[in-house]
Amino acid sequence: MTSSDSLIARLAWLHLRSALLGWQRGQVVEEVALLNRIIESMSLDPVCKLDPPDYGFVTSEWYVLHRKGPGGTDLYGSDIAVTVWKAPSNWLKTAFIQLKASSNYAVQVEPDQLLRAKSGRGTWERSFIAAANAGNADLRVTPCAAFDPFSMKAGTKSCRASRWLPAQTWIEQWLRCDVGLASTLPYEAEASLLDHVRPVPLLPDIIPQDRESRRDNDVLPARAWLVVAIEGVHR
């Protein structure tokens, strides 16, 4: 893991921590309120300069996919998609994250949400659940693949998130590819997001733009998409 990756993980956690603290102070402690807090917090510094020995810049931009699916549908495979591009290389990685509010680390996992995460091309193996624990502003993360939606006979599955990875640890492991898959041709996960945003974000010109070759999906891959470019740093 490079020093710039470690710095970016710390910066991301600081923004997430700020969002969690604001969220738990609010009157409405639910997932949509948390999503709005995260977007607000992580929109404050769209350009971040890295100091020596790394040098370079980190730029970020949000895209909202709300009600842009076929027929104006409002079904989502995740709450947030995050794509990191280490420019100028072709290194890309995307995660799809379902947000869950928890109390005392108790989480309700819904099979319908898991099935929606399975509906997109290249999304399931990149999908995660993030449990935000009200009371101590903690965030824990686990892969969606830890659950089998087809074996969940009840409407929801109750579990505890206390043994899931802490968010900063997860970010560090995700950046060094210990968890989640890096993207490769044909970049289906990123292409499915590009189908639903205008203007097109700054990404390497390696993602197929031919939407006609991809089937429509009634489920949008995410509510919101954060695109982060890490430029000019040491690898």
- pLDDT confidence tier of residue 10, bands split at 50, 70 and 90: confident
Strand (E) positions, the chain? 47-50, 56-64, 80-87, 91-103, 106-109, 127-134, 138-143, 157-160, 165-166, 224-231
| Alpha-carbon span 110 to 79, nearest angstrom | 14
Residue range 142-165, pLDDT digits in tens: 999 999 998 887 678 899 999 999
> How crowded is residue 117: how many other Cβ atoms within 10 Å of its Cβ?
28
Select the more confidently predicted residue: 4 or 67. 4
Average pLDDT over the chain, rounded to whole? Answer: 83
Q: 16 and 37 in contact (C-beta within 8 Å)?
A: no
Q: What is the DSSP letter of 70?
A: G
Provide the residue ranges of all domains of the chain, joining segments of one domain with +: 62-228
Q: How far is CA 128 from the centre of its chain?
A: 8
Task: Dig out the tokens for 169 from the structure.
Answer: 């640890």
Least confident of 44-53, 63-72, 82-91: 44-53
Q: Once rounded to an integer, what is the mean pLDDT over residues 51-70?
A: 67
User: DSSP secondary structure string, 128-192?
Assistant: EEEEEEETTTEEEEEEGGGS-GGG--SS-EEEE-TTSEEHHHHHHHHHTTSSS-B--TT-HHHHH
Strand partners, 222: none
Nearest to 47 by CA among 175, 232, 229: 229
Question: What's the chain's Rg over C-alpha atoms?
Answer: 17
Quote the pLDDT of residue 235.
46
Quote the pLDDT of residue 56.
64
Residue range 179-203, pLDDT digits in tens: 999 998 888 899 888 888 877 777 7
Residue 49 has pLDDT above 60, yes or no: no
Quote the pLDDT of residue 209.
65
Assign 23 to helix, strand or coil. helix
Residue range 197-216, pLDDT digits in tens: 877 777 777 776 665 555 56
Least confident of 42-51, 70-79, 84-93, 169-178: 42-51
Residue range 78-119, pLDDT digits in tens: 999 999 988 878 889 999 999 999 999 999 999 999 999 998
Q: 76 and 60 in contact (C-beta within 8 Å)?
A: no
**By 3-state DSSP, what share of the chain in percent is helix, strand and coil, each rounded to 5?**
30, 30, 40
